[in-house]
Amino acid sequence: NNNHNYKTVYAFAREMHPKTEKFDVQYGTAGFRAKASTLGYVMYRMGLLAVLRARYKKGCIGVMITASHNPEPDNGVKLIDPCGEMLEQSWEKWATKFANVGDDQLEEVINEIVTQLNIEMTQRVEILVGKDTRPSSPSLAKALCDGILALSGKPIDYGIVTTPQLHYFVYCRNSRHEYGLPTEEGYYRKLCNAFKKLRGQKFDVGNYSNEVFYDGANGVGAKKIKYFQECLGDSLKIGMYNDELIGTGKLNYMCGADYVKTTQSFPHGVPQEINQRCCSVDGDADRLMYYYLDEDKKCHLLDGDRIAILIAEYLKEVVESTGLEVDLGLVQTAYANGASTKYITKKLKVPVSFACTGVKYLHHQALKFEIGVYFEANGHGTVIFKKEFKEKLRSALKDSSSDEVKSAIEKLLVVIDLVNETVGDAISDMLLVETILHSKGWSVQDWEGAYTDLPNRLMKVSVKDRAKIQTTDAERRCVKPDGLQDAIDAIVDKYNAGRSFVRPSGTEDLVRVYAEASTREEADQLALEIALKVYEMAGGIGPEPTL
């Protein structure tokens, strides 16, 4: 009989972290997200679950406390699996169940999972805990650690770190340091050494100038970039902005990658220098957005699509110089600008596949390729290199007699070191973009010149129950409510190069609308028409959407 008595778990829950909310929560695109004040018991229970997951996987697990791009009063939690990837989907239902049962049912649920999955409960497991800069994070971390301790797990507190840093630490620990050292110092060293090697001694090349403005979104990315700057020295000058004190309410406020992308405008708090290359990260530094202001003070965006293309093109070139055959592919979501998809397939001749929003879906699809580049238009993404491919590179390095080939392979191996393969990492991505622009001698305008984005517009619609909207075909078509997709098709038909889709957000309580068309006015108008249709047919609440 595997049944155990988890009385202390229940006592702790009842006394210290009782379930306070009546409404069920769901483990979504990026774990649980809600108002921080409602999350204490959810954290406690995720502490319990993390220990069970670690014992099941016989490795260490990570738990990150963050609500990323959401406003400062929100918070959230996501679990990180042993190889640094997001929690396996089949466990999301356990997470949801753990979060929603009554305090007095906790014992029972624990017994259920232990029995069903045959989890060995004696193993002493380590749970790595990280948090962003939200003022609510320390007390939520305490609740989480109470949960870990209640099942005799060992919490290892990494303090304030970026989400991708924690993913990296988890993988380093489980790979027995093969991937790197599981410390902050180890992480900075690995990335900065790779960057400096690729940069060489000449910092300004052609149209490339060695200075970038960086918007830290008043979050953890603003703190951590300082260590990079120290480590990078003169090899990259980073103008650092938006680093307000913790708790000032400025996190992601009118700044950061999500603000820049959704409003398509220049963030507050960054000097408005014409033609200066700038970038923004989001609240937990896993998304990156590039942009600049032209002479008319118009803000030009270089988003995740552009970053993906820049990286894919570069990798293709480097791989070609090694003389090896490689299967390189790119993964996008429905948000990818139509012009970018056309450029990738027609010009770059790299295959593209589509996934649902959420890096866990993109990551999964990218695993199919030897080199898989995946990016969401919102700037969330990375590159993954198959283990066998890395081995192929290493043996080709040993076997080749050509110095040219050898140095191309060596270069590619250093590029791989610069990438945080575990998950999208804004700072690692930034260093990769800077490396590529430098190697091509490109200004940000040269980069933008490859193709012209179709004008596009994002809108949000509040509805009574966003679960009423259901989609298919990588979220490009809507199957519920009945008739909505037909209505969307009829509206889209009226616009030149029109495309639009709607989907329920996985991180906020609203429906998102995307539209693109051949002119700015048309894209705006199309988005508005679709938003109004959603409001009408899917139970809109509050004021009607307006531009």
Q: Which residues are catalytic?
A: 68
426 annotated ligand binder: no
**What SS3 class is residue 143?**
helix
Looking at the Cβ atoms of 215 and 522, the one nearer to ligand G16 is: 215
Contacts (CB under 6 A) with ligand G16, residues 224-253: none
Q: Closest approach of Cβ 78 to ligand G16, in Å?
A: 8
Note whether 438 binds ligand G16 by CB under 6 A: no
Looking at 476-519, list the stretches that DSSP marks H as alpha helix, in order from N- to C-terminal side: 484-492
Question: In Å, what is the CA distance from 408 to each residue of 93, 216, 230?
Answer: 46, 34, 29
Note whether 303 binds ligand G16 by CB under 6 A: no
Note whether 282 binds ligand G16 by CB under 6 A: yes
Please identify, among the stretches 234-242, 281-289, 468-476, 484-492, the one whose residues bind ligand G16 according to the rule CB under 6 A.
281-289
The one-letter amino acid code at 22 reads: K
Please identify, among the stretches 16-24, 189-197, 314-322, 506-514, the one whose residues bind ligand G16 according to the rule CB under 6 A.
506-514
215 annotated ligand binder: no
The one-letter amino acid code at 254 reads: M
How far apart are alpha carbons 396 and 279 in whole angstroms?
37
Q: Closest approach of Cβ 287 to ligand G16, in Å?
A: 5
Note whether 286 binds ligand G16 by CB under 6 A: yes
Note whether 29 binds ligand G16 by CB under 6 A: yes
How far apart are alpha carbons 469 and 326 in whole angstroms?
40
Q: For ligand G16, what does the binding mask look like between residues 464 and 503, x meaning CB under 6 A?
A: ----------------------------------------
Residues touching ligand G16, count (CB under 6 A): 18
Note whether 378 binds ligand G16 by CB under 6 A: yes
The one-letter amino acid code at 3 reads: N
What are 532's two structure tokens? 């109004």
What are 424's two structure tokens? 């999208």
Q: Closest approach of Cβ 337 to ligand G16, in Å?
A: 15
Instruction: Reply yes or no: is the peptide bond before residue 71 cis, omega within 30 of 0.
Output: no
524 annotated ligand binder: no
Binding residue for ligand G16, selected from 53, 55, 69, 224, defined by CB under 6 A: 69
The strand pairing partners of 238, in sequence order, are: 212
Q: For ligand G16, what does the binding mask look like between residues 181 and 200, x meaning CB under 6 A?
A: --------------------
Looking at the Cβ atoms of 153 and 216, the one nearer to ligand G16 is: 216
How far apart are alpha carbons 403 and 397 in whole angstroms?
10
Q: Closest approach of Cβ 14 to ligand G16, in Å?
A: 32
Binding residue for ligand G16, selected from 26, 505, 524, 539, defined by CB under 6 A: 505
Note whether 126 binds ligand G16 by CB under 6 A: no
Note whether 334 binds ligand G16 by CB under 6 A: no
**What SS3 class is residue 280?**
strand
Binding residue for ligand G16, selected from 85, 146, 244, 376, defined by CB under 6 A: 376
The CA angle 246-148-110, to the nearest 5 degrees, is: 130
* Closest-CA residue to 427 (of 217, 182, 205, 199): 217
Binding residue for ligand G16, selected from 17, 43, 68, 491, defined by CB under 6 A: 68
What single string gives the DSSP state of each residue in 372-399? EEEE-TTSBEEEEE-HHHHHHHHHHHHH
How far apart are alpha carbons 98 and 109 in whole angstroms?
7
How far apart are alpha carbons 330 and 322 in whole angstroms?
20
512 annotated ligand binder: yes
The strand pairing partners of 32, in sequence order, are: 77
Query: Given the structure tokens 């899917």, which residue do they identify?
Result: 538
**What SS3 class is residue 508?**
coil
372 annotated ligand binder: no
Looking at the Cβ atoms of 397 and 510, the one nearer to ligand G16 is: 510
Cβ(369)–Cβ(329) under 8 Å? yes
Looking at the Cβ atoms of 153 and 372, the one nearer to ligand G16 is: 372
Contacts of 159 (CB under 8 A, 6+ apart): 130, 131
Note whether 71 binds ligand G16 by CB under 6 A: no
284 annotated ligand binder: yes
Please identify, among the stretches 51-59, 244-252, 353-361, 410-418, the one whose residues bind ligand G16 according to the rule CB under 6 A.
353-361
Contacts of 317 (CB under 8 A, 6+ apart): none
Q: What are phi and psi of 382, to 5 degrees?
A: -160, -170
The strand pairing partners of 239, in sequence order, are: 213
37 annotated ligand binder: no
Q: Closest approach of Cβ 76 to ligand G16, in Å?
A: 8
Q: Closest approach of Cβ 67 to ligand G16, in Å?
A: 7
What are 423's two structure tokens? 């998950």
Looking at the Cβ atoms of 30 and 128, the one nearer to ligand G16 is: 30
376 annotated ligand binder: yes
Q: Specify binding-site residues for substrate.
A: 376-378, 503-507, 512
Q: Specify binding-site residues.
A: 68, 282, 284, 286, 376-378, 503-507, 512
Binding site for ligand G16 (CB under 6 A): 29-30, 68-69, 282, 286-287, 357-359, 376, 378, 380, 505-508, 512
